[in-house]
A and B are shown apart, each in its own frame.
Chain A
Amino acid sequence: MSTTWLPCSVYHQDYAQDHRWWQTKFIKGKMILLFVILFVVIPLVADSYLLSICNLIGYTVLGALGVQLLIGFCGQITLGHAAFIAVGAYTSTLLILEFPWPKFMLDYGIAYPVSIIIAAVVAGIWSVLFGLPSARVKGFYLILTTMAAQFITVDFIITQYVSQIGGRGQAFSLPPGTIKVGPWVIDSELKVYFIMLIMVILCVIIMVNLLRSSVGRAWVAIRDNDISAEVMGINVFKYKLMAFYVAGFIGGIAGAFWISNLAAISPEHFPWFWSLWLVGVILIGGVGSIHGAVFGSIFMVVVMEGLQLAVIPLADIYPKLFIDFLYIKEAAFGLAICVFMIFEPKGLAYRWWQMKNYFNLWPFSY
């Protein structure tokens, strides 16, 4: 599903062409246009509300990429991804607040980028720890162990112990000016937006490159049939753990990125609901494609914001509605998943693929 047919009369003559990121001039132009829009047009045009929505989309994409890797490419269903995002966020926050950084690192703004990397590694290791049961169990039993990861990590360890470090109470607040990248203090939506773009693009590149290497092919083999993968000589356990590691790594990046947008973090930012939300995002977007993670994020965030905008005028008439919005959102999310699963089980990415192929052959489709 991930491959697109080439347009008529375009043929590859060597492998280098086959391996190219952007295989035709049209695709190259399209991608450059996309980058121009992302890096130039949106920052110029959008106000801070729109930018905040973009940031939320980016955060969802980062979270969903890890889930997509586990569910969509390696077949390990996870319902506890928010735990790894939380580990990333808390590692980064604690490093910024508690670690005695050398003066020059703070001055040059290296502390936060370094903490992101450490947070990602820690989250990856934590993820591998909960991926260990995947050696013996799969399917529904694995779902339960990932659920256990969520409850153990967020509801128990972080709420009860990690939050007590430094005696700050439940929420860790990040004083303004502590999050600094290079010479820039991250204090506006616009700066967060640029960090988000760079993170998302980096993670997508990592994912795409992994998926077209032998590692990615091993993952897909495990997803399709883990017994035959083992018969073919793939070390199933190793690759499963690797998938957990990379997913946790990207989740850690997501969490560490998100603290730049939040003034304070607390365990309530990473509920079980968020884990399920991410799975819902990739199901709506399409399982087994990176486009799916992006489209699903855009769709869910935009729909929920739209719902909120629709509710605000009504709230003058029914004030209760505004308080109840959270519940409406939950119910709508549930219903959206059900409807998508029943009527559009291949997700939005499949429609996109169909559309692309239609126009590739247009106007002379067979």
Chain B
Amino acid sequence: MEVFLMALTTGIMVGGIYALVALGWVLIYKCSGVLNLAMGEMTLIGAYVSLSFYSMGIPFILALLFSLIVGLVLGILTERIFLDKLIGEPVLTVIMVTVGLSFFFKGSVELIWGTDTRVFTPPVFSIEPTHIGPLVIGQVYLWSFLAAIILLIIFVGFFKYTRWGLAMQACADDEMAALSLGVSARFVYAAAWAIAFMAAGVGGTLLGNINGLNISVGYLGLLVLPAVVLGGLNSVPGAIVGGIAIGILQNLCGTYLDKYFPGGIKEIAPFVFMAVFLLFKPHGLWGWERIERV
């Protein structure tokens, strides 16, 4: 029971980070209809940027803030340079451009920062575990979860209550209607990419704090895909639930199935689960079912 609860809590905490990144993904999809496969590499860039700032001696919070700003700029640039020209192109074209982007980002990251595992030195969060009742949880997980939840609340509040957020909601709901009411679609797209980049950067930084930072963090970023599929591609609550569910699933599988399938089950389980899940619910939990006509 102890073990189960431990795995469950760790799963929820890591899942919080996935939820944050998945939110960024869903945002891009909802607002501009782009299925983004470069999300893993976006987490990587944000993580490395904040690591660079942190190792310059800047306090962690400030480093995170700077990486948010860099994410904002990079997001807008990416949208303007690559995605802006592809509005109205077939789905495959847009997907492959994001795949191309993911290679470009990954190659650049490897070129600039190398492939060795880097850690945040000195450690941002103390190594001493905290005790909550019978549970022992690393402080990294706790703080990461808190940070992810705070950012999630900020982002959701942004959509619900600010003018820009409402513009994005309108655009996601019905682009034509939003355009005719004077909402600038180009602004919305750029904002969606900027926010996604920022969310991915924070997610990557937190993931990098847990296990050290190398290229495989980008792979963890790829886990948002099972998460968003689970929740439904165009549902923000779905992304959050899906992210947490994938975190839990991953940790439970890592704890219980590792004996039977040694090595790698933790990384594979979300994808296996996703493939099976799709057979039963092809649109995720809360995704829109499109009725297709000839």
Give A contacts to B, CB under 8 Å: 71, 77, 79, 130, 132-133, 136-137, 139-141, 143-145, 147-149, 151-152, 155-156, 159-160, 225, 227-228, 231, 273, 276, 279-280, 283, 287, 324, 326-338, 341-342, 345
A151 touching B103, Cβ below 8 Å: no
Assembled-state Cα–Cα distance A143/B274 (Å): 12
> Which among B105, B110, B111 has the highest number of chain A CB atoms within 10 Å?
B111
Assembled-state Cα–Cα distance A151/B275 (Å): 11
Contact pick for B99, options A155, A227, A280, CB 8 Å: A280
Assembled-state Cα–Cα distance A328/B262 (Å): 35
B275 touching A148, Cβ below 8 Å: yes
- A137: chain B residues at CB < 8 Å are 278-279, 282
Assembled-state Cα–Cα distance A324/B105 (Å): 14
Assembled-state Cα–Cα distance A331/B109 (Å): 9
Q: List 30 A-B contacts (CB under 8 A).
A: A77-B95, A130-B275, A133-B275, A141-B278, A145-B278, A147-B271, A148-B274, A152-B271, A156-B265, A160-B261, A160-B263, A228-B294, A276-B99, A279-B96, A279-B99, A283-B92, A287-B92, A326-B110, A329-B107, A332-B107, A333-B103, A334-B103, A334-B106, A335-B100, A337-B97, A337-B103, A338-B97, A338-B101, A341-B96, A341-B100
B272 at the interface (CB under 8 A from A): yes
Assembled-state Cα–Cα distance A338/B37 (Å): 13
CB distance from B228 to the nearest CB of A (A): 9
**Tally of A-B residue pairs with Cβ under 8 A?**
139
Assembled-state Cα–Cα distance A276/B91 (Å): 16
B61 at the interface (CB under 8 A from A): no
Assembled-state Cα–Cα distance A333/B292 (Å): 36
- A333: chain B residues at CB < 8 Å are 100, 103, 107
- B226: chain A residues at CB < 8 Å are 144
CB distance from B44 to the nearest CB of A (A): 13
A334 touching B92, Cβ below 8 Å: no
A338 touching B274, Cβ below 8 Å: no
Assembled-state Cα–Cα distance A227/B294 (Å): 6
- B233: chain A residues at CB < 8 Å are 140
A141 touching B229, Cβ below 8 Å: yes
Contact pick for B111, options A143, A328, A336, A345, CB 8 Å: A328
A331 touching B96, Cβ below 8 Å: no
- A77: chain B residues at CB < 8 Å are 92, 95
Assembled-state Cα–Cα distance A194/B96 (Å): 34
Q: Which 5 pairs, one residue from A and one from B, show the smallest C-beta to C-beta distance?
A: A331-B107, A334-B103, A337-B100, A334-B104, A330-B107
B274 touching A144, Cβ below 8 Å: yes
B251 at the interface (CB under 8 A from A): no
- A334: chain B residues at CB < 8 Å are 99-107
Assembled-state Cα–Cα distance A79/B225 (Å): 14
Give B contacts to A, CB under 8 Å: 35, 82, 85-86, 89, 91-93, 95-97, 99-108, 110-111, 225-226, 229, 233, 261-265, 267-268, 271-272, 274-275, 278-279, 282, 292-294
A331 touching B111, Cβ below 8 Å: yes
CB distance from A126 to the nearest CB of B (A): 14
Interface on chain A toward B: helix, strand, loop, or mixed SS?
helix
A156 touching B268, Cβ below 8 Å: yes
Q: What would 7 more interface pairs be, CB under 8 Å, given A328-B107, A338-B104?
A: A133-B278, A152-B268, A156-B265, A279-B99, A280-B99, A338-B100, A342-B82
Assembled-state Cα–Cα distance A345/B229 (Å): 28
Minimal Cβ-Cβ distance residue in B for A273: B103
Assembled-state Cα–Cα distance A279/B102 (Å): 14
- B292: chain A residues at CB < 8 Å are 227
Contact pick for B97, options A141, A227, A273, A341, CB 8 Å: A341
B91 touching A331, Cβ below 8 Å: no
B271 touching A151, Cβ below 8 Å: yes
Minimal Cβ-Cβ distance residue in A for B82: A338
- A148: chain B residues at CB < 8 Å are 271-272, 274-275
A136 touching B294, Cβ below 8 Å: no
A283 touching B96, Cβ below 8 Å: yes
Minimal Cβ-Cβ distance residue in A for B86: A342
- A341: chain B residues at CB < 8 Å are 86, 89, 93, 96-97, 100
CB distance from B53 to the nearest CB of A (A): 22
CB distance from A143 to the nearest CB of B (A): 7
Assembled-state Cα–Cα distance A341/B104 (Å): 14
CB distance from A144 to the nearest CB of B (A): 6
Minimal Cβ-Cβ distance residue in B for A335: B104
- B97: chain A residues at CB < 8 Å are 337-338, 341-342
CB within 8 Å for A331 and B103 given contacts A147-B225, A156-B265, A156-B268: yes
Minimal Cβ-Cβ distance residue in B for A136: B282
Assembled-state Cα–Cα distance A139/B92 (Å): 9
CB within 8 Å for A337 and B111 given contacts A141-B278, A151-B271, A160-B261: no
Contact pick for A231, options B100, B263, B294, CB 8 Å: B294
Minimal Cβ-Cβ distance residue in A for B35: A140
Contact pick for B100, options A133, A329, A336, CB 8 Å: A336
CB distance from B191 to the nearest CB of A (A): 22
- A273: chain B residues at CB < 8 Å are 103
Contact pick for A331, options B85, B99, B104, B262, CB 8 Å: B104
A324 touching B225, Cβ below 8 Å: no
B263 touching A71, Cβ below 8 Å: no
Assembled-state Cα–Cα distance A335/B97 (Å): 9
CB within 8 Å for A327 and B96 given contacts A136-B278, A334-B103: no
Assembled-state Cα–Cα distance A331/B100 (Å): 8
